[in-house]
């Protein structure tokens, strides 16, 4: 029997990279999956590559609480109550040093990386509490535990905030049947590399994590029995320093 048979999952940022990898892994284990993101065309391409009758897409600005409310209602109406939420949506910018940051770019990263996770969690939690069952997985970043110039101050601040959100919620709801896990990937070969201040070489891309590596970690957490919780999980390329 497939390990996620009968489960409904929502994966944000599901049009590419880690989110697309998670959707593929979940579908392979029998889940019905909704992928959400800002770009309709990217979601269509993702759906074409996944080619599954158990998949739905929904384009939404996840930094808009009204759009998130509509997203959760649409997914619930079409697929059923959401059992697993994967908060994976996020972005970074090229102009990421503190000297380059502006109030607008600061707010852009906080909204995309932190507010979106809060809004999605806020919308799915009541139904999970009613059922006394639910899993929320936050795909944060090593930058959410070890701030540094590579990700930049605003990106790190947003990911630290996401990490705190998950840790606090897990502690508050430990007796409610709700599990919350933060996953902290190191460098991953995803489209976010396209906005690095310096171009990333093919050799470097070859050495870092692939989306399916992180998806395997998410799947591991998602397929554990309800009495088991992984509060935090760090996954990185072998060569990458973690101190």
Distance (Å) of CA 20 to CA 15, 43, 168, 191:
6, 9, 27, 12
How far is Cα 215 from Cα 105, in angstroms, rounded to an integer? 29
How far is Cα 39 from Cα 12, in angstroms, rounded to an integer? 12
User: Residue 154: CA atoms inside 13 Å, Cβ hemisphere, count?
Assistant: 24
155 as an active site residue: the answer is yes
Q: Alpha-carbon Rg of the chain, whole angstroms?
A: 17
How far is Cα 243 from Cα 195, in angstroms, rounded to an integer? 25
Distance (Å) of CA 147 to CA 41, 70, 159, 165, 215:
33, 34, 9, 17, 23
Element holding 119 (H helix, E strand): helix 116-131
Residue of 119, 155, 184, 242 with catalytic role: 155
Yes or no: say if 190 and 16 are a contact pair by the CB < 8 Å rule.
Answer: yes
Yes or no: say if 60 and 70 are a contact pair by the CB < 8 Å rule.
Answer: yes
How far is Cα 145 from Cα 125, in angstroms, rounded to an integer? 25
Cα torsion angle, 112, 116, 117, 118, sign: positive
| Residues noted as catalytic | 155
């Amino acid at each position: 029997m497939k390990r996620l048979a009968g489960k409904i999952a929502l994966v944000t940022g599901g049009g590419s990279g880690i989110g697309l990898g998670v959707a593929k892994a979940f579908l392979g284990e029998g889940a019905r999956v909704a992928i959400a993101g800002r770009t309709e065309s990217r979601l269509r391409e993702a759906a074409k590559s996944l080619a599954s009758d158990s998949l739905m897409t929904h384009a939404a600005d996840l930094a808009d609480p009204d759009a998130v409310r509509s997203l959760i209602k649409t997914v619930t109406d079409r697929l059923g109550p959401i059992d697993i939420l994967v908060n994976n949506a996020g972005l970074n910018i090229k102009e990421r040093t503190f000297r380059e940051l502006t109030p607008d770019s600061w707010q852009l990263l906080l909204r995309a990386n932190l507010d979106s996770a809060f809004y999605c969690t806020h919308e799915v939690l009541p139904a999970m509490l009613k059922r006394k069952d639910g899993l929320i997985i936050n795909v944060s970043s090593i930058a959410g535990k070890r701030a540094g110039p590579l990700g930049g101050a605003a990106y790190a601040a947003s990911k630290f905030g996401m990490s705190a959100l998950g840790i606090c919620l897990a502690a508050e709801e430990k007796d409610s049947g709700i599990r919350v896990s933060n996953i902290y990937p190191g460098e991953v070969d995803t489209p976010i590399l396209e906005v690095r201040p310096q171009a990333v070489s093919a050799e470097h891309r070859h050495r870092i994590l692939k989306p399916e590596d992180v998806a395997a970690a998410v799947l591991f957490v998602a397929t554990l029995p309800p009495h088991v919780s992984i509060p935090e999980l760090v996954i990185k390329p072998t060569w990458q320093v973690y101190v």
